[in-house]
Amino acid sequence: MDMSHSANGRQPCFQLGNREFNSPMRHQIKPSVAAYKSLCYHLVMKAKEHKIALEMRREGKSINEIAKTLSISKGTASIWCKPIQLSQEQRDNLLSSGQQKMLDKRKSETIIRRRLDRTQAETEFLKFKNNPLFLVGLSLYAGEGSKGELGAVQVANCEPWILKKSIQFFELIGTPKEKITVNLGLHDQVDDQMAKIWWSEQLGIPLEQFRKSTYVVGKASKRLKGNVQPNGTCYIRFSNVRYMTKILKWLELLAKEQFECSDSIHGETLG
């Protein structure tokens, strides 16, 4: 292979056999007028956006707000605004605003979840309403259960059979016995350990699931020494806001259905 100059003497070429190949040369590509104008417009707009970003940052706006307003990435907004130092008051305002937005977002998400839970409860009520255990458990909960919407699902009583039925009800709706914890409310003359052993045997719940007992000493208990429950009052509970929401909805639906049934029977009797 020989390398020589081309016929015009300005560009070297390679010769392979009887063929010549021009060597690659760097060529400058001149941009078109339209491309040049587009580039200028882009630079001008970026300069304006940069200026606006700096002004917004000086006013104490957050990087997220600047990026959203100018339709740029948060990374770009952060780089542009890096020279601007916020005052302590501006930083405090941003922190407070961010926390409030987070709280509002969580509240909104919670409301949506509760609506979905209540809708699901309506479907499940149709599934369970002919089950005797469901009706008994729900009725017991209406009388002996806690009703706080954000609290734990809890039933309290001194009769083992009521709590046994409540445990079966909890298992029916999807909470295994292993998730249930037990607390005792005792009078001062009741032995804590003996009471826990007795309730453990009655309910079939191991002692490991028992929590610290509470001793109750009130005016009524002082006057009624002879009527003190020998094993105290037992509280069975599990923490699940979704199930609490469903139970409250089931109670509402059960009451509505019973009232409608009662009105129907009453109407037939009058007729």
183 and 237 Cβ atoms separated by less than 8 Å: yes
How far apart are alpha carbons 80 and 43 in whole angstroms?
Answer: 15
pLDDT of residue 87: 87
Q: Which domain holds residue 256?
A: 117-270
Q: Which tokens go with 68?
A: 């959203």
Buried b (16+ CB within 10 A) or exposed e, 53-83: beebbeebbbbeebbeebebeeebbeebbee
pLDDT band at 243 (very low <50, low <70, confident <90, very high): very high
138 in any annotated domain: yes
Residue 15 maps to a domain: no
Let me know if residue 109 belongs to a domain. no
Q: What is the mean pLDDT of residues 196-212?
A: 95
Neighbours of 33 (CB within 10 A): 8
**Report for 65-69, 243-247, 258-262: range of highest mean pLDDT:** 243-247
Percent with pLDDT over 90 in the chain:
40
Do residues 78 and 126 both lie within one domain? Answer: no
Determine, yes or no, domain membership for 22. no
Give one DSSP letter per residue of 73-122, joined into a string: -HHHHHHHHTTPPPPHHHHHHHHHHHHHHHHHHHHHHHHHHHHHHHHHHH
Distance between CA atoms of residues 60 and 81, nearest Å: 11
My answer on whether 192 and 149 are in the same domain is yes
Per-residue pLDDT at 62 exceeds 80 = yes
CA angle, corner 59, sides to 55 and 62, nearest 5? 95
Q: What local confidence, expressed as pLDDT, does residue 61 receive?
A: 87
pLDDT of residue 138: 95
The string of pLDDT tens digits covering residues 142-189 is: 999 998 766 789 999 999 999 999 999 999 999 999 999 999 999 888
State whether 164 and 207 are in the same domain: yes
Mean pLDDT of 190-213: 95
Indicate whether 251 belongs to any domain: yes
Task: Say if residue 199 is in the same domain as residue 251.
Answer: yes
Residues facing residue 145 across a β-bridge:
155
Provide the number of structural domains found in the chain. Answer: 2
Q: Are residues 250 and 139 in the same domain?
A: yes
| pLDDT tens, residue by residue, 24-59 | 544 455 557 777 667 676 677 788 888 888 888 888
The answer to whether residue 168 is domain-embedded is yes
**125 and 67 belong to one structural domain:** no
In a domain, 161, yes or no: yes
